[in-house]
Amino acid sequence: MTSTPASERSPGHHDAADVEWPLKFKSHYFGAACFNTRSCIVLYRDFPHGAMHEGLSPSVESTGRSLDQLLTASRGPIPNFPPPAKVTWRSKDGAPHEAHVDIGEIFRDELIRHNLAREEIPDSTLASDHSPGIILEVNDRTINVYMRAHISTKELQEPGNRYSDFRDDLIKVFSRSY
């Protein structure tokens, strides 16, 4: 396969050979969820996620859904990277906690975490801008940070399901217990 010289390409045209690999991101979406806490608030980019509530928040298991189904990131796009997230919560036993989670440090390489090989991704997707979701989960005394990126695939992920031409795996990138 030969590439068209840059001077002969139309604006916006990309060859797979021109695309940086691995995939990187310059903005992201953010979300937070709290489980097994007596109260929980996550402040990121001056926006509160979670809710100060009385009583124990539900466990993942009690929702009847998987963690993969529960965690989403819908706030954004946010340019990389605002100051650390401030997390203030009371664990299941009522103990107070506060942490600063530096999302910029965790993702300092700006690499998109995914479970695909370059060969599985269409050239048009490789050349696209990506804004993955970053999700912070508080679960009792543990903070986990995940990434989820919608990435198109050349092959269907579920044979016969024409709407399964992508992956959006939830990938844990950071964990710390307090």
**Model confidence pLDDT, tens digit, residues 44-81:** 998 998 766 667 899 999 999 999 999 999 999 999 99
The pLDDT of 92-103, averaged and rounded, is: 97
Q: Is the pLDDT of residue 128 over 60?
A: yes
Closest C-alpha to 177, from 126, 146, 141, 149: 141
What's residue 2's pLDDT? 41
Helices (H), the chain: 67-70, 103-106, 123-126
For the entire predicted model, the pTM comes to 0.84
